[in-house]
Structure 1
Amino acid sequence: MHWHILGAGAIGCLYAARLASAGCRVTLLLRNSQRLDAFHAADSAISISRDGEYARYAVAAQTVSDAEPGISHLLVTTKAHESESAISSILPKVAADAQVVLLQNGAGHQHHSVQLLAPRPVWAGVTTAGVRRSDSFTLLPAGAGTTRLGPLARCPASLPDGWARIEPPVIADAQIENAIWQKLAVNAAINPLTAIHGCLNGDLQNDQYRDTLETLCREIESIATRCGYHLFDRPLYEQVLEVARQTALNRSSMLEDVSQGRRSEIEFINGFLARTAREQAIDAPLNLALYEQIAAQDSKESA
């Protein structure tokens, strides 16, 4: 099978390499000719650093406008706020029965994507894989992580074509929406605080953040519970501290975005939670404050 990947960021490139290693044909869909030129300048390959050595994965690439109709398998790894425009740009070239996977942060945008993609089968996924880029097509992994994939609309509980061969193994999860909320909860606790304070994930274990982090976790848990989602078998605060410990030297994706003047995904993380809290008549002032602070910074960057 032939997987086209929309969103050639760190996760998109990582899964391009993993799918290629699993024996799939892979094509990156790039937004413009400048990005395509950069890919060719990188010898038309994705490089992954492992133990001081680089593994190279030769894949194809083309601009969205040059893609041929009849795309049969589409992986979407764009930023959450880019989903609708990115999917709309490629949609006329996606076959009516194509398999589609959404592997993105945040919540709320997936159901808009499902509506756009109807009647195609759509899977959603979450991953804890840690990876950043030293340049556009060179990856520096920070942990293999776990990836879960499950049916979102009009598809079976089994994995889409080729994904059962990926290493490390992808877990088929029939309750993927609960997994999305689990990832959302951890991201909503870690990402905005690291972005605002300019700190690494592990720094959130320090006493100076304890009260804020505990309050934030309680708000998130109350929202999830009201919406019918069970997060973890222990308090979210404990789970977040464990993730912060395991990823102590990582820079969150939101910190990376804010540091580099890019629009963050706050709208679909704490923004989503703040809107959901309002709809459910729950007080969530800290989520709202964090959302407003980072959204205001996003607005300045885009002005």
Structure 2
Amino acid sequence: MHWHILGAGAIGGLFAARLGLAGIDVSLLLRSPQRREQLKQQANRLSLQDGDRVEEVPVSAELIDDQGPISHLLVTTKAYDSAAAMESIASRLQPGAQILLLQNGYGHQQQIAQTFANWPLWAGITTSGVRRLAPFQLKLAGEGETRIGPLNQAAALCGALPDGWHRLKHRVIATDIERALWQKLAINAAINPLTALLDRPNGDLLEAQYRPQLTALCQEIEAVASACGQSLFDNPLLDQVLKIAEDTAENRSSMLEDFSAGRRTEIDQITGFICAEADRHGLETPVNRELLNAVVYRQGRA
């Protein structure tokens, strides 16, 4: 068993390290010889800091344009890069190759499932937090858990989890992935745009001054989910968001990290999806729309 990681950023690197620590062979798929040289300068090792402990995990690297076969593929690219990234390695996929999509947002998973219908395909979400300190040097910000479920019948026939994932020391749960994707989407839509625009960590959303906006935001998201036939949580979304903000108080959302690094955000696949579904069902979402426009405007100026 050999897993290739497409999307060697913070989350891709974290799970490359977790797979490697479980004794599974891992290769990072890199875009350029310069990135491969950076890894070589670190003796082909990923560095993962967890509190006072630092793990040095051996990994190999290949260029996306290389020709070797791929039997197991983890995709951790940004959601907006998914289709192009998958197309770039499609010719390398072996028949029956297992594919796991571990990304934010919603909608692109179903599009990829249609395009790659002949391959076993899973989707997953994770509540792990991780920061990239330097190329191939990571700091764990929260252990979290990862939930995975099959997106097509080919995956369901293989099992609840892709090969090897039961061996991770990290908590991995087989789940109803459709509901899990909506839950992660709702949490991201509530936390990410606000923290990015405020330039503040998750825990700051607990301040009373943000409660009216956060309450209205969550109510809009719940209304859209309900119109789409999705039940989110057993308790109100606002309660869930406040708990996560408290549990991850020091964490910076991925959208805030993207802003800080001058990268494009996943706003279109998160809040943009919520607004598009609202339009489709004739719902008004003024708070979400305001956040969407503000993030799009700001990243357009970056």
TM-score, normalisation: structure 1: 0.96
Cα distance per residue 1:160-191 (max 9 Å; x no partner): 11011111131011x10100110110110000
* TM-superposition CA deviations, 1:134-181 (whole Å, max 9, x none): 0121111011101000011131152111011111131011x1010011
Which residue does the alignment assign to 1:177? Answer: 178
Q: Could you tell me the percent identity over the aligned residues?
A: 50
1:65 partner SS: coil
For the residue of structure 1 that corresponds to 2:65, the secondary structure is helix
1:189-204 to structure 2, matched below 5 A, reads 189-204=190-205
Match of residue 89 from structure 1: 88
Mapping for residues 134-283 of structure 1, pairs under 5 Å: 134-154=133-153, 155-156=155-156, 157-173=159-175, 175-283=176-284
Q: Quick one: distance in 1 between partners of 2:188 and 2:171?
A: 23
Tell whether 2:128 aligns with 1:129. Answer: yes
Corresponding letter in the other structure for 2:173: I
Cα offsets for 1:214-235 (capped at 9, x unmatched): 0000000001111111111111
Partners of 1:67 and 1:52 lie apart in 2 by 40
Q: CA deviation at 1:293?
A: 1.4
RMSD: 1.1
Hey, what does 2:301 align to over in structure 1? 300
Give the count of matched residue pairs.
299
The 8 Å contact of residues 4 and 75 in structure 1, kept in 2 or not, is answered as yes
Residues 213 and 237 in structure 1, CA contact (< 8 A), matched pair in contact too: yes
Instruction: Report the counterpart of residue 38 of structure 2 in structure 1.
Output: 38
Task: Report if the CA contact (8 A) 1:88-1:116 is conserved.
Answer: no
Shift of 1:53: 3.3
CA distance in 1, matches of 2:52, 2:21: 20
Structure 2 spans left out of the alignment, 5+ residues: none
Tell me the distance in 1 between the aligned counterparts of 2:106 and 2:18.
25
Q: Is 1:117 matched with 2:116?
A: yes
- Give the gaps of 5 or more residues in structure 1: none
Report the residue type matching 1:150 in the other structure. Answer: G
Secondary structure at 1:66 match in 2 = coil
Q: Could you give the per-residue CA deviations for residues 93-132 of structure 1, whole angstroms, max 9, x where no partner exists? A: 1113110000001101111111222211100000000111
* Distance apart, 1:81 and its partner CA: 0.7
Tell me, in whole angstroms, the C-alpha distance in 1 between the residues paired with 2:87 and 2:168.
28
Instruction: Give 1:67 deviation, angstroms.
Output: 4.0
